[in-house]
Amino acid sequence: MFGVEQYSSGRCCIIMDIKHNFESVRQRITEAALRAGRDPRDIKLLAVSKYQPLEVIAAAYQAGQTLFAESRVQEWQEKARQLPSACAWHFVGRLQTNKVKYLDDRMSVLHSLDRFELLPELEKHGQRLGHIWTALLQVNIAEDPAKAGLPVADVQDFLAVLPDYPHVRVRGLMTIGRLGATPLETRGFFRALHQRRAIWQSQAPPGMDLSELSMGMSDDFEIAVEEGATIVRIGRRVFAEL
């Protein structure tokens, strides 16, 4: 989407601009955390690098960022192959069942476990690789028909079947706010997910840990931090405003 040629001038400037973007977003996360009485170190900044060229991701890595997210399996494979192995990769896109076979242990966290059909595929592939997937359950808390995510009404049943898939380990919840929602509505969705997490945790099979809350993007990450996010997923705000 953004070719490297669109950036102002040369490699040093890309690194300087990206470093500045990351510093500014980290500062805003810190301030939001402190406003909410939270420890800023409890919030991870996930840089959503989908569509970004290798040079730009490499610049972010040089600026100290190691946590990246992609939304297409094949694009991720290519980037993971070419970028330093110290980069940790998360997946935030809709995961097609026929793409599961391309995943491997370089993929640290799947944020988009959003339907039952993915479980047998992930289990089978995990068994084959001897790898346990770490995943977040994507919940459609805004009940937005345009967005993926498990309906709220299905979450408890989903958690209850997870012990049948020992190669899938759910560590928390993920959500996307509704497009066009007001900040107040967005806050309501994030708060609702945080509150429901406590209920789902209390009903979950023994040993299941739902502590991660992945919520907040470029336009609403401060609200998400104030409402308990442990991971914010930021694309445009760190990469595109150069």
Ligand X SMILES: *Cc1c(COP(=O)(O)O)cnc(C)c1O
Q: Are strands 168-174 and 44-48 parallel, antiparallel or unpaired?
A: unpaired
92 near ligand X (CB under 6 A) = yes
Is residue 67 near ligand X by the rule CB under 6 A?
no
The rounded distance, in Å, linking the Cα atoms of 34 and 37 is 5
* Residue 51: CB minimum distance to ligand X, A: 9
Q: Which DSSP letter does residue 99 get?
A: G
Q: How far apart are CA 89 and CA 68, in angstroms?
A: 5
Comparing C-alpha atoms, which of 96, 70, 94 is closest to residue 239? 70
Q: Is 169 helix (H, G, I), strand (E, B) or coil?
A: strand
Residue count, binding to ligand X (CB under 6 A): 12
Q: Interface with ligand X includes 194 (CB under 6 A)?
A: no
172 binds ligand X (CB under 6 A): no
The smaller minimum CB distance to ligand X, of residues 60 and 234, is found at: 234
137: phi then psi, degrees, rounded to nearest 5 = -85, 120
Task: Give bridge partners of residue 68 from the DSSP assignment.
Answer: 47, 89
Q: Is 176 in the site for ligand X (CB under 6 A)?
A: yes
Spatial distance between the Cα atoms of 116 and 134, rounded to a whole number of angstroms: 16
> Using the 8-state DSSP alphabet, how is residue 93 labeled?
S
Token code pair at residue 138: 């994507």
Stretch in the footprint of ligand X (CB under 6 A) among 30-38, 95-103, 198-206, 229-237: 229-237
Which CB, 228 or 235, lies closer to ligand X?
235
Q: Which DSSP state fits 102?
A: G
State yes or no: residue 233 binds ligand X (CB under 6 A). Answer: yes
47 binds ligand X (CB under 6 A): no
By beta-carbon proximity to ligand X, the closer residue of 7 and 204 is 7
We find the least distance from the C-beta atom of residue 236 to ligand X, in angstroms, to be 4
- For residue 112, the minimal CB distance to ligand X (Å) is 7
Q: Does 149 bind ligand X (CB under 6 A)?
A: no
> For residues 109 and 155, is the Cβ–Cβ distance under 8 A?
no
DSSP 8-state code for residue 178: P
Contact call for residue 218 and ligand X (CB under 6 A): yes
CB of 242 to ligand X, least distance (A): 13
Q: Is position 71 an interface residue for ligand X (rule: CB under 6 A)?
A: yes
- In the window 99-138, what residues touch ligand X (CB under 6 A)? none
Give the footprint of ligand X on this chain (CB under 6 A).
48, 50, 71, 92, 176, 217-218, 233-237
